[in-house]
Structure 1
Amino acid sequence: MSDIFISYTRNDRPKAERLARALEDRGLSVWWDRSIPAGQTFDDAIEEAIGFTRCVLVLWSKESVASRWVRTEAAEGVNRGILVPVLLEKVEMPLAFRRIQAADLSDWKGEADDMAFKRLVSNIQALLDNASQAQPHGVSNPPIKVRGGQRRTLLFLTIAAASVVILAIYLRLSWVTNTPPTPTSTRTVYISGNWTINDDEIFGSDEEETHDFEKEVRLQAGQEQTIRFAECVGNEVEGVLEIDILLNQDLSATGKGTIFYYEGTACPNDDLEDRSSFRISAPRDGTSSPFQGHIGDQDGYVRINRLELSVR
């Protein structure tokens, strides 16, 4: 098990190696080399490494903010409460990860006495110290042996506790039925539309597919969530649409979306050809104006024919 798992894109490998070596010089074990042992698949190796690490260090750059693999690994870090974001460049992190303060190493050249690097090491060490005090992942407590007298005592306590819970539920229901309703601060937000993905391998003889998309999420005021759609055409071109939805305090909704156009030898792939960002908003209990967008060229493209955001 390594102390630190570093998530990065292929183009950022030199910077990831420099940071990994600097952390290892501080006595920390780091998993960063994506060379996969014989007989093991890439996905299995990544899943095993990130599953047993105690810190997920995500390196954000212009390349990595568009990488689905990096976003997935960052989400795992958030879910386990062990994410430490690092800015290799002065970029805006994806909305889902902005609540965690990032270490800014955009000007770091590898110096061990750099203040930004020393603060990063201090934050990582504090996270590892907290993790070492918690129960290790996958380790269960041994069964507790209960003797006859203890068993009768536990049975009595269980019955007593159940009675208290039933009484509390009864009193709660009585209070609710006599309390006037208050306005709800939750709404269902809908994303719906239609898009076209085109794979024009030979100009003039293209392969094209048009699909409808629709999804809904239930949000509270101030809550945000990412909605994602993806489609492949010709096993080479892939369109991805990601929208970060925020339900505002006035119960209107805003969305910050990005259209990604990937082209490679197989779907899904991580070879980003083009991307474009947009914003959309919907009033309380209303629907936005339709959005349209287009990215790509004559060799292939992703076109948003219609996209609407609704609040209900």
Structure 2
Amino acid sequence: MKRKRIFIWLVVCLTVLVGGAGVYAYQVYSNVNQTLESVHQPVRREAIEVRPEPLELKQLDPVSIVLLGVDERQGDRGRSDSLMLVTVNPNENTTKLVSIPRDTYVTIEGKGRQDKVNHAYAFGGVPMTLNTLERFLGIPIDYYIEVNMQGFQEIVDAVGGVTVHNTFPFSYEGHSFAAGSIPLNGAQALAYARMRKEDPKGDFGRQERQRQVMEAVMKKGASFSSLTRYEEILQVIRQHVRTNLTAAEIYEMQKDYQQAAQSVEQIEITGEGKRIGGIWYYVVPEAVRQQLSNQLRKHLGLSIES
């Protein structure tokens, strides 16, 4: 797997066609900038973990980004269906990618109760989700990129569909997926990325398929054939993506941080399923949580907690 595309998806999914600006020159550049301005949505919150000094991208400070795949529902704000954390250290040219199981048992910051981590979004949106993750992981969360699952489907269609390699046959939501190399349209890709109950690896298997589809989207989006579809792609991004990254920050990271994407370590959080009060949770032992926190803090250039 070309792992560097995972990082590119996170920080350049908003600018998937920037690489083609040399072909369409000013028109593409102008439209991309307008898109970035429209999806920019700052977060007002009090950070739980404070950096010793403010983050400076131009000084190549290590950075953390959370990708939220949100399953929006009519009448409420929905839940975070997918949670991924990326830490990037441009000085070491390394990237760490942590998939966070949505059923992880955590303390929901601002609620004073323990619950599944994906419920933080339902209770308090992006601010409560970021604060909850900061407390659980013991690190500052610098940026977020939110993509609703309807947008996930439309982005796949906008790039003309994708091809993935499926490791075992299964059916889900009316779609059948054979083993081997298979083409997917948007609806198929969404179902492919959502299934977990038939996967021997459970939620971790689903997370792998989500990353696989994201990688395929970036590969297709970066191809020359997608340049003719860039207006459709940007329209989908405007409708379905939100981030607190500014256009200047995205360009800065694309310029100075993408080399770190050539060395990606994928981390799975070790835990076990338990029923608490009749509800199934994914429980992470404190020793495992602390070890993960120290690993991420070290990667971000922060002091290690005992």
TM-score interval for Structure 1 and Structure 2 normalised by the shorter chain = under 0.3
Return the structure number with greater relative CO, CA threshold 8 A, min gap 6: 2
The structure carrying a bigger helix percent of its residues is 2
Q: When the two structures are superposed, what TM-score results if normalisation uses the length of structure 1?
A: 0.21
More strand by share: 1
Q: Which has more radius of gyration?
A: 1
